[in-house]
Chain A
Amino acid sequence: MLDELQVLTRRFERERRARKAAEEIAETKSRELYLKSQEVQQALAAEQQARAEIQALLGEVERLSVTDPLTGLYNRRYLDAQGGTWVTLAARHGHPLSVQMIDLDHFKRVNDTHGHAAGDEVLRTAATLLKAGTRQTDLCARFGGEELCVVLPNTDPIGAVTLARRFIAALAATPFQISDGDRFNVTASVGVAGLSPDGDSLETLLKRADAALYRAKEGGRNRVVCDGSPVFAGDGGVGR
């Protein structure tokens, strides 16, 4: 039988050792916690990396896709591919085909005066009007910053000019208003070119339409010019 002192001494000794064991466990746990937090840091870094990669891939997907994200029209890539094919087929079979090169007038001024959001809105609206005024069989594309392009199969230049005139009239008649109350209007210039009986590629067609577009700009804007023909003004007047 142990006496009271022995009992207390032994108990005290056990508690001392237990306390030491608890300290060791606490140290181990805090080391484990540190390692875990390192793991978490690494996982977060990996996630950052993955996000960056996804962003890059999304950019790539956008590049490879066929539509322009802002306007919803086809993009340049698609125009080159599909339009090119149509031109080849039309030339081979002797079917008419025309192109319209459309450029918004003073677009830089719109962005500078009313802001880029307004500029985007103008582009979107122009695209909507363009789609509304063309047929299902026509290919409407965003050619560049403020340039649109339409390939019209089975259409001669007269038809293409008619559609272009309607488009620029509709655009000129559309009021734009931004949040702070500024109202403004936008016009466009159009160059039209038709497939030549001597043979054409999409590239040469677009070049001729572009030259016509240049003449439309020089001639005062807000008008349609057809390659190799007199100038057709948006208001119905005719001049050079």
Chain B
Amino acid sequence: MKGIVFTEFLEMLEAQHSPALVEEVLDHVDLPSGGVYTSVGTYAPAEMVALVVETSRQTGLPVPELLRAFGRHLFARFVALFPMFFEGRTSSLDFLPTVHSFVHLEVQKLYADAELPSFDVKATAPGHLTLVYRSSRNLPDLAQGLIEGAIAHFGDHLSLVREAHPTEPGAVVFHLAPKA
């Protein structure tokens, strides 16, 4: 898992809680990296799981909620760090399809070893979008947070509904539709 996920997570904890919390969390998990992360590095996904679980324990926030909050935070950070991916995009309906078709392809040019989730997108009707999330990391809550972050960023009046894939275990389906 690329280092940027780790660095952004710890920075979010520091900003939204305190530097002391970050130290507490790091003290209570056994990390091969020692908690030393650089955004361009690669680290074991299990370390992220351990950090999230421990943070949940320390803060009392359930893991899914913590991941969703992180997803929303991460989206805003992506906008700040990688403005080129958002140029000319006016809504999440417009942007989300490019995550798979453009953004992740660009990421893979620099980081061939990056294991990125796949987002199969279907525009089912005008103003509607269906995304199928598949990932070896299995973090649908994080994906949900990112999508919520997108909706918030573009100021869309969209509702987000999530359901397990009817036939594929592990895959999650997200439906975006105009708010009633």
Q: Per-position contact with B for A124-147: 1 when CB-CB < 8 Å, else 0?
A: 000000000000000000000000
Contacts of B23 in A (CB 8 A): 2, 6-7, 10-11
Given contacts A14-B35, A14-B36, A18-B36, contact A25 B41 (CB under 8 A): yes
The A8-59 residues at the B interface (CB cut-off 8 A) are: 8, 10-11, 14, 17-19, 21-22, 25-26
Nearest A residue to B6, CB-CB: A18
Pairs A–B under 8 Å by Cβ, sample size 28: A1-B20, A2-B20, A2-B24, A4-B20, A6-B23, A7-B20, A7-B23, A8-B19, A10-B23, A11-B19, A11-B23, A14-B34, A17-B34, A18-B36, A18-B37, A18-B38, A19-B38, A21-B36, A21-B38, A21-B41, A22-B38, A22-B39, A22-B40, A22-B41, A25-B38, A25-B40, A25-B41, A26-B40
Taking chain A's interface residues, is the majority helix, strand, or loop, or is none over half, making it mixed? Answer: helix
B146 at interface by CB-CB < 8 Å: no
Nearest-neighbour CB distance to chain A for B111, whole angstroms, equals 10
With A and B bound together, what is the CA distance between A14 and B23 in angstroms?
11
- The chain B residues found within 8 Å of chain A, CB to CB, are 7, 19-20, 22-24, 34-41
With A and B bound together, what is the CA distance between A165 and B39 in angstroms?
89
Nearest A residue to B110, CB-CB: A29
Contacts of B39 in A (CB 8 A): 22
Contacts of A26 in B (CB 8 A): 40
With A and B bound together, what is the CA distance between A10 and B20 in angstroms?
10
Nearest-neighbour CB distance to chain A for B17, whole angstroms, equals 12
B22 x A11 contact (CB < 8 A):
yes
Query: Can you add 16 more A-B contacts, CB < 8 Å, to A2-B20, A14-B34?
Result: A2-B23, A2-B24, A4-B20, A7-B19, A7-B23, A8-B19, A11-B19, A11-B22, A17-B34, A17-B36, A18-B7, A18-B37, A19-B38, A22-B40, A25-B40, A26-B40
Taking chain B's interface residues, is the majority helix, strand, or loop, or is none over half, making it mixed? Answer: loop
With A and B bound together, what is the CA distance between A184 and B41 in angstroms?
78
Contacts of A7 in B (CB 8 A): 19-20, 23
With A and B bound together, what is the CA distance between A6 and B26 in angstroms?
14
With A and B bound together, what is the CA distance between A19 and B22 in angstroms?
18
With A and B bound together, what is the CA distance between A10 and B24 in angstroms?
11
Nearest A residue to B7, CB-CB: A18
Contacts of B35 in A (CB 8 A): 14
Nearest A residue to B22, CB-CB: A11
Contacts of B24 in A (CB 8 A): 2
Contacts of B22 in A (CB 8 A): 11
Contacts of A8 in B (CB 8 A): 19
The 5 nearest A-B residue pairs measured at CB: A22-B38, A17-B36, A18-B38, A21-B38, A7-B19
Nearest-neighbour CB distance to chain A for B115, whole angstroms, equals 17
Nearest-neighbour CB distance to chain B for A186, whole angstroms, equals 63
Nearest B residue to A9, CB-CB: B23
With A and B bound together, what is the CA distance between A26 and B41 in angstroms?
10
Contacts of B41 in A (CB 8 A): 21-22, 25
Nearest B residue to A8, CB-CB: B19
With A and B bound together, what is the CA distance between A4 and B18 in angstroms?
11
Most chain A Cβ neighbours within 10 Å, of B20, B35, B38 = B38
With A and B bound together, what is the CA distance between A52 and B23 in angstroms?
65
Nearest-neighbour CB distance to chain A for B180, whole angstroms, equals 47
Contacts of A25 in B (CB 8 A): 38, 40-41
Q: Per-position contact with B for A168-194: 1 when CB-CB < 8 Å, else 0?
A: 000000000000000000000000000
Nearest-neighbour CB distance to chain A for B20, whole angstroms, equals 5
With A and B bound together, what is the CA distance between A17 and B38 in angstroms?
9
With A and B bound together, what is the CA distance between A10 and B41 in angstroms?
20
The A36-86 residues at the B interface (CB cut-off 8 A) are: none
Nearest-neighbour CB distance to chain A for B26, whole angstroms, equals 8
Contacts of B34 in A (CB 8 A): 14, 17
Nearest-neighbour CB distance to chain B for A9, whole angstroms, equals 10
